[in-house]
């Protein structure tokens, strides 16, 4: 369960998923303050995706999607000039219910935790779809070993693929907003099947900040 208010970090092309790690480089003054305050407190930051058109109000409070993912800062490195390299570990989804007055120059939101069913029953359902996922993902991996890691739990695998495959930001956001991991798995399969009909392109690689 998240606290009622958390700092939010709006980004134009990154969506964080529960259970997935995300490295970030923090350079803007307001977000340096956000990281500094988070490290002094509960180490929580809510990652949210900016809605299209954010460029017109990037200095103010551009509109964001209403569903994001809270992450815990598991690693931080403060550079000599005050910038940070951090790693966020996705914890849980949340819905934004409103925003508080800015403190320290960064945005804070009133949030409601969104839990997703987990456990062996969920993994068993996804396991039945794993072969199809592997078929669709294999041509997209620029590696001699085109097998997905067997040791990774199925729900974590779906979330990792949703985050790191080279999808459009709005496609990743739509996957995040699915009500549970099984629905996300089915939506991911449908999306990959649709893209398989398009001209070949490489989707390998992580998000670039």
CATH number, domain containing residue 106: 2.30.130.40
Asked whether residue 57 is domain-assigned, the answer is yes
Across 10-14, 50-54, 169-173, 200-204, least confident range: 200-204
Asked whether residue 209 is domain-assigned, the answer is no
pLDDT of residue 154: 87
For the stretch 96-127, pLDDT in tens is: 999 987 777 899 999 999 999 888 899 899 99
190 in helix, strand or coil? helix
Q: Which of 47, 82, 114 is the last residue before a domain boundary? A: 114
Give me the percent of the chain exceeding a pLDDT of 70. Answer: 87
Q: Which of 114, 133, 153 is the last residue before a domain boundary? A: 114
Helix (H) or strand (E) holding 135: helix 130-137
Asked whether residue 208 is domain-assigned, the answer is no
The Cα 49–Cα 51 span in angstroms is: 6
* Entry pTM: 0.87
Q: Are 106 and 22 part of one and the same domain?
A: yes
Q: Are 113 and 2 in contact (CB under 8 A)?
A: yes
Q: Are 59 and 108 part of one and the same domain?
A: yes
Asked whether residue 146 is domain-assigned, the answer is yes
Q: Which domain holds residue 40?
A: 5-114
Give me the percent of the chain exceeding a pLDDT of 90. Answer: 69
Asked whether residue 25 is domain-assigned, the answer is yes
Asked whether residue 206 is domain-assigned, the answer is no
- 203, pLDDT greater than 60: no
Asked whether residue 203 is domain-assigned, the answer is no
Q: Mean pLDDT across the chain, nearest whole number?
A: 88
- 163, pLDDT greater than 90: yes
Q: How many domains, the chain?
A: 2
Q: Which of 55, 86, 114 is the last residue before a domain boundary? A: 114
Q: Are 113 and 96 in contact (CB under 8 A)?
A: no
For the stretch 36-67, pLDDT in tens is: 999 999 999 999 999 987 666 556 688 999 99
């Amino acid at each position: 369960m998240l606290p009622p208010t958390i700092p939010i970090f709006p980004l134009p092309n990154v969506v964080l998923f529960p259970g997935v790690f995300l490295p970030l480089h923090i350079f803007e003054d307001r977000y340096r303050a956000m990281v500094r305050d988070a490290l002094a407190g509960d180490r929580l930051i809510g990652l949210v995706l900016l809605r299209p058109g954010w460029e017109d109000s990037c200095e103010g409070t551009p509109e964001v999607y209403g569903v994001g993912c809270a992450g815990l800062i598991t690693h931080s490195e403060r550079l000599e000039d005050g910038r940070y390299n951090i790693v966020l570990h996705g914890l849980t989804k949340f819905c934004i219910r409103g925003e508080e007055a800015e403190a320290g120059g960064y945005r804070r939101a009133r949030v409601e935790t969104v839990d997703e069913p987990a456990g062996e029953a969920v993994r068993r359902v996804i396991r039945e779809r794993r072969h199809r996922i592997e078929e669709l993902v294999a041509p997209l991996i620029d590696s001699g070993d085109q097998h997905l890691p067997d040791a990774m739990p199925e729900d974590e695998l779906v979330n990792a693929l949703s985050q790191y495959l080279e999808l459009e930001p709005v496609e990743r956001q739509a996957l995040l907003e699915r009500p549970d991991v099984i629905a996300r798995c089915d939506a991911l399969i449908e999306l990959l099947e649709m893209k398989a009909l398009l001209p070949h392109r490489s989707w390998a690689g992580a998000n670039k900040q």
